[in-house]
């Protein structure tokens, strides 16, 4: 029997590998043209969980357009553009086959306003500056702080840093207990939280914070008695006193 020469077997293996390479390239080219075909042309833009901005505004900020290819649209670039807006805290951009981009938004919410000259600086509960407005908002006004930074899209900075920390904690507790203060005058000694213009809750920062769970019951008791004027003094260990006189 005549044996096949080693050289001939090597040539056949080279031809086999070359054929596999050609087929692999052809498959890759085919997949590329399929993924970039009109079948994956963007037809739907869906925005989820938005409250402050409309879906159209989110799409405009992200500069997203229909008609492009689903796989050629950069989700990272869309996310970067949206995160530059102060009201956008977090964003998720995903592709949904065959022709849809879904934008899931986590927005910052206006929580309080700080008077600044004749305008107001709006912040969220974390102290992020959202915008400046000339119109007085229906938000708690924070008084007693000296602003050292008012740049939109950056954290609020004040000279009284401890006061700011107490204020943000109070805002969080206020939201948790569904209490609305018209304005909050804060100092290192005492807090004055205005329920109405002439109904005030007073106490040290520590005592006010500790009282936030019980305060709704105290306010409700005054409400059913028709009392809208006076001072609620908050002491330690859940102690409250009321005076009808307001300075």
CA-based diameter of the chain, in Å?
A: 121
pLDDT value of residue 198: 93
pLDDT value of residue 112: 95
Find the length of the chain: 247
CA distance 185 to 202: 10
pLDDT value of residue 2: 47
Torsion 233-238-239-240 (CA) sign: positive
Domains and CATH numbers, the chain: 40-107 (3.10.20.310), 112-243 (3.40.50.10960)
pLDDT value of residue 29: 62
Strand partners, 116: 119
* DSSP symbols for 94-153: EEETTTEEEEEEEE----EEEEETTEEEEE-TT-BEEEEESSPPSSPEEES--EEE--TT
Q: Are the beta carbons of 41 and 99 closer than 8 angstroms?
A: yes
Q: What is the dihedral of CA 206, 208, 212, 217, to 10 degrees?
A: 140
pLDDT value of residue 205: 84
- pTM assigned to the model: 0.80
- List the chain residues with pLDDT less than 70: 1-16, 18-24, 26-39
pLDDT value of residue 186: 83
Structure-token match 């159209």, residue found: 56
Torsion 51-56-129-136 (CA) sign: negative
């Amino acid at each position: 029997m005549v044996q096949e020469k080693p050289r001939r077997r090597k040539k056949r293996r080279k031809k086999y590998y070359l054929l596999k390479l050609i087929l692999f390239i052809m498959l890759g080219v085919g997949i590329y043209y399929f993924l970039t075909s009109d079948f994956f042309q963007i037809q739907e833009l869906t925005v989820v969980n938005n409250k402050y901005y409309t879906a159209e505004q989110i799409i405009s900020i992200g500069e997203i357009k229909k008609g492009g290819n689903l796989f050629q649209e950069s989700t990272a670039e869309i996310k970067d553009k949206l995160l530059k807006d102060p009201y956008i805290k977090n964003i998720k951009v995903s592709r949904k086959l065959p022709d849809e981009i879904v934008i899931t938004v986590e927005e910052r919410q206006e929580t309080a306003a700080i008077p600044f000259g004749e305008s107001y600086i709006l912040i969220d509960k974390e102290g992020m500056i959202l915008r400046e407005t000339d119109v007085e908002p229906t938000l708690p006004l924070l008084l007693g702080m000296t602003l050292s930074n008012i740049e939109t899209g950056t954290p609020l900075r004040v000279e009284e840093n401890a006061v700011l920390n107490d204020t943000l904690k109070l805002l969080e507790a206020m939201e948790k207990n569904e209490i609305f203060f018209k304005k909050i005058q804060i100092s290192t000694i005492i807090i004055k939280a205005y329920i109405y213009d002439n109904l005030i809750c007073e106490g040290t920062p520590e005592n006010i914070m500790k009282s936030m769970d019980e305060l709704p019951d105290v306010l409700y008791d005054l409400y059913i008695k028709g009392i809208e004027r006076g001072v609620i003094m908050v002491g330690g260990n859940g102690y409250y006193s009321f005076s009808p006189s307001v300075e």
